[in-house]
Amino acid sequence: MPDALWQIFQKNRHLLHDLPVLGAAVIQQWAKVQYGARVLIMVFPHTFGRRLNFNPHLHLMASSVGLSASDNRVTEKVHFNKKALMHMWRYAVITYLRAALTKGLLSSELTRVEAGGLLRSQYERWWNVHVARLVSKSHFLRYAGRYVRRPPIAQHRFTAVTEQHVEFLTKDLKEKRVVQTRYSLSEFVEKLAEHVPDHYRHAIRYFGLWAPRSKGQAAAALFLLLGQERRHRPRRLKWADSIRKSFGTDPLIDRHGHRMRWCRRLKPINAAL
C-alpha cells in the first residue's frame, strides 16, 4: 500500500489484524469469480522496512490449484492477474478505512475532512502489487522462512553499537547502493518496539482451503482428487535440535565444553534496590 497510509496503521494498530483478512479475501474472490474454485492461502503480515521504518504490508502464498465447490473437481493452473488484484486490493483497503473513519475508529491528527481527502487521493493512484510464480517446494520454504519468526534486522547488518548510537547497513533502492543508517539508542529501541507483534497475533494466517475450519474437510478430498498420499506431520524439533540443525552449534554446550543439564527452577528473589 502507499506510504501515505502507513501512519494510519501505525497509530491504529488494532486495524492491522484485519489486513490479512482483506488480502486473503481479494485472492479468494478472484479465484471464485474467474475459476469458481477455492484455493489454499497463507498470509505473512509484516510491519518493518529496511530502515526499521513502519511499513505494513503482506506476503501471500496462494496455490495454483483450486477445488471447485460446485462439482468437487480440481481446477489446475489458476492464474492471478496483477492489475486486477491491484484494483481489488486498493478498493478493499480504502473501503475498510473509510468505514473505520465513519464509525470513529480512526485516531489521527487529521480532521475527518482531511482524512477523507487523503483516502480519496490514495484511491486514485497506482498501488504496487507484485505477483510471482513459485514452483519449487525448497524455494517456497526458503522464502517463507525469511518472513516467519525472524527479527526485523539481521545481526550481520550491524556495524557499530555504542553507548550513544546504533549503526547498521541498509540497501538504498533509489541510489542502488548500500548506505549506513544511524539511530540514537532511544530511537533504535523505539523503532524496534513498533514491530513487536501484539499479544495473540500469529506470524502466519491460513485462509481458503487451508483455513482452520476448512482444512479438515477439504484436505482429504483435495489429496484424493490429486491422486496424492497425505504425509504425516513431522514431529516438531526441540529448540536445541533446531538451533543445532540451522546454525551448526549446540546451545547446551557451555564455554568450557561441558554439556548443560536441567536441574531445577529457581524462584525469583525480591531484592530491595
Based on the fold, state whether residues 94 and 143 are members of the same structural domain: yes
Based on the fold, state whether residues 103 and 187 are members of the same structural domain: no
Over its length of 273 residues, how does the chain's per-residue pLDDT go in tens digits? 899 999 999 999 999 999 999 999 999 999 999 999 989 999 999 999 888 999 999 999 898 888 887 767 888 888 999 999 999 999 999 999 999 999 988 888 889 899 999 999 999 999 999 998 877 777 777 777 777 777 888 889 999 999 999 999 999 888 889 999 999 999 999 999 999 888 888 888 999 888 888 877 777 777 777 777 777 878 888 889 988 988 888 999 998 999 999 888 888 877 555
How many angstroms separate the most distant Cα atoms in the chain? 71
Based on the fold, state whether residues 103 and 227 are members of the same structural domain: yes
Please say which residue of 173, 194, 215 terminates a domain. Answer: 194
- CA-closest candidate to residue 24, choices 175, 202, 243: 202
Q: Is residue 73 included in any domain, yes or no?
A: yes
C-alpha span between 145 and 135 (Å, rounded): 16
Q: Is residue 236 included in any domain, yes or no?
A: no
Helix (H, G, I), strand (E, B) or coil at 38: strand
Based on the fold, state whether residues 86 and 23 are members of the same structural domain: yes
Provide the residue count of the chain: 273
Based on the fold, state whether residues 166 and 57 are members of the same structural domain: no
Based on the fold, state whether residues 125 and 72 are members of the same structural domain: yes
Amino acid at 182: R
Based on the fold, state whether residues 41 and 113 are members of the same structural domain: yes
Based on the fold, state whether residues 115 and 176 are members of the same structural domain: no
Phi, psi for residue 22 in degrees, rounded to 5: -65, -45
Cell reading at 174 = 533509489
Based on the fold, state whether residues 60 and 189 are members of the same structural domain: no
pLDDT at 272: 57
How many CA atoms does the CB half-sphere of 68 hold within 13 Å? 11
Based on the fold, state whether residues 127 and 219 are members of the same structural domain: yes
The total of other beta-carbon atoms located within 10 Å of residue 28's CB is 20
Helix (H, G, I), strand (E, B) or coil at 118: helix
Q: What is the CA radius of gyration of the chain?
A: 23
Q: Is residue 267 included in any domain, yes or no?
A: no
Cell reading at 128 = 504496487
User: Are 65 and 75 a contacting pair, CB within 8 Å?
Assistant: yes
User: Are 41 and 61 a contacting pair, CB within 8 Å?
Assistant: yes
Counting the structural domains of the chain, the total is 2
Q: Is residue 102 included in any domain, yes or no?
A: yes
The total of other beta-carbon atoms located within 10 Å of residue 174's CB is 5
Domain residue limits at 160? 153-194
pLDDT at 164: 93
pLDDT at 54: 94
Q: Any alpha helices (H) in 208-247, and if so which ranges?
A: 212-226, 239-247
Amino acid at 86: M
pLDDT at 75: 85
Q: Is residue 270 included in any domain, yes or no?
A: no
